[in-house]
């Protein structure tokens, strides 16, 4: 494999406020994959949130989920690699959210079942849920949502990340406190769908989209890694790449580190890839 292409989803493949694949986008994916191009996706979403685009697009390579805390192969129904937090760090983060009284979710991986439970705490409710996203062997939901459980239950598996959403003012103090905890990394980023909504995603300092992308590059034996992203949580993946690109509406912090800014087109990533692949043919 010469080149591995990895793209973020929300704000990069999904643009203009759309959160699903358009018919034209599916057609472009089909044309691209027919050329044998090695392409996959990386997202801050859970497995159930990334399942639809992974299956509808025809991608067969492992995908990167949970902001890089897991590399998962939907076709085999197993995690290729996970980057969980230490249990004591998970406990400390849960206690942080309990102390401030803010809602949060903890995504916890269970190896025996090869799936997660998403613990929705303090009133947090996940919206990106579908009963179609089931494990091919055991039929269990990839990220079954459970409500208001104890911290001890959260600690019963491998916590991949803890996240929350809210306004910038609500989340900044939480983000700053999380940044003082050793062994974890906190990323704060704005929603591409609502300019007033922000996210804080906290995971192991050994995780991140960059670490996951480099792992996948090595696992697949690719000579070159090319990445696409639009937001602050994509920066590690962009910096890890041999080449990287962003979309026109990306913040300046992202634009300052990439090799180029793509055209202002809803399918700018796929059209860029098809053009590059055809030029190399």
> What is the secondary structure of 78-135 as a DSSP string?
EEEEE-PPPHHHHHHHHHHHHHHT--EEEEEEETTTTEEEEEEETT-------TT-B-
Q: What is the reported pLDDT for 260?
A: 96
In this prediction, residues 91-105 reach a mean pLDDT of 96
The model's pTM is 0.93
Percentage above 70 pLDDT, the chain: 99
| Confidence band for 280, pLDDT divided at 50, 70 and 90 | confident
Q: What is the reported pLDDT for 127?
A: 65
What pairs with residue 174 in β-bridges? Answer: none
**DSSP assignment of 14-49:** B-TT--S--HHHHHHHHHHHHTT-EEEEE-SS-HHH
Tell whether the model's pLDDT for residue 17 goes beyond 80: no
Class of residue 157 by CB neighbours under 10 A (exposed 0-12, middle 13-18, buried 19+):
buried
Task: Give residue-wise pLDDT tens across range 53-82.
Answer: 999 999 999 999 999 999 999 989 999 999
Q: What is the reported pLDDT for 183?
A: 97
Tell whether the model's pLDDT for residue 265 goes beyond 90: yes
Q: What is the reported pLDDT for 128?
A: 58
Name the one residue in this structure whose structure tokens are 């098809």. Answer: 274
Are 220 and 236 in contact, with CB atoms under 8 Å apart? Answer: no
In this prediction, residues 72-101 reach a mean pLDDT of 96
Report the half-sphere exposure of 149 (CA within 13 A, side-chain side).
17
Residue 254 vs residues 27, 76, 102, 258: alpha-carbon distances, Å: 29, 34, 29, 7
Task: Give residue-wise pLDDT tens across range 172-222.
Answer: 999 999 999 999 999 999 888 888 999 999 999 999 999 999 999 999 999
Q: Report d(CA 277, CA 269) in Å as an integer.
A: 12
Are 154 and 90 in contact, with CB atoms under 8 Å apart? Answer: yes
Q: What is the reported pLDDT for 193?
A: 85
| Confidence band for 33, pLDDT divided at 50, 70 and 90 | very high
Q: Quick one: which H or E segment has residue 3?
A: strand 3-8
> The dihedral of CA 255, 259, 261, 267: what is its sign?
negative
Q: Report d(CA 12, CA 246) in Å as an integer.
A: 8
Are 85 and 63 in contact, with CB atoms under 8 Å apart? Answer: no
Beta-carbon contacts of residue 265 (< 8 Å; ≥ 6 apart): 271
Closest CA to 212 of 236, 230, 245: 236
| Confidence band for 129, pLDDT divided at 50, 70 and 90 | low
What's the mean pLDDT when you consider all of the chain?
A: 93
Between 14-18, 28-32, 95-99, 152-156, the lowest mean confidence (pLDDT) is in 14-18
């Amino acid at each position: 494999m010469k080149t591995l292409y990895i793209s973020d989803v929300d704000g990069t493949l999904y643009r203009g406020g759309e959160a699903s694949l358009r018919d034209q986008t599916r057609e472009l994916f089909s044309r691209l994959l027919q050329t044998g191009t090695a392409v996959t996706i990386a997202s801050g979403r859970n497995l159930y949130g990334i399942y639809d685009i992974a299956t509808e697009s025809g991608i067969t390579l492992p995908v990167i989920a949970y902001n890089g805390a897991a590399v998962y192969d939907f076709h085999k129904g197993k995690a290729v690699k996970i980057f969980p937090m230490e249990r004591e760090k998970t406990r400390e983060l849960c206690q942080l959210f309990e102390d401030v009284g803010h809602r949060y979710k903890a995504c916890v991986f269970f190896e025996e079942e090869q799936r997660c439970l998403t613990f929705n705490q303090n009133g947090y409710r996940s919206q990106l849920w579908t009963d179609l996203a089931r494990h091919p062997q055991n039929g269990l939901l990839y990220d079954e949502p459970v409500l208001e459980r104890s911290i001890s239950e959260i600690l019963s598996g491998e916590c991949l990340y803890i996240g929350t959403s809210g306004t910038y003012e609500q989340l900044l103090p939480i983000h700053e406190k999380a940044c003082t905890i050793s062994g974890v990394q906190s990323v704060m980023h704005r929603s591409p769908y609502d300019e007033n909504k922000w996210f804080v995603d906290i995971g192991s300092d050994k995780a991140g989209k960059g670490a996951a992308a480099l792992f996948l590059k090595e696992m697949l034996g690719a000579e070159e890694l090319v990445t696409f992203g639009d937001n602050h949580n994509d920066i590690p993946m962009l910096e890890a790449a041999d080449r990287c690109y962003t979309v026109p509406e990306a913040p300046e912090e992202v634009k300052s580190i990439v090799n180029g800014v793509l055209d202002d087109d809803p399918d700018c990533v796929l059209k860029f890839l098809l053009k590059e692949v055809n030029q190399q043919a």
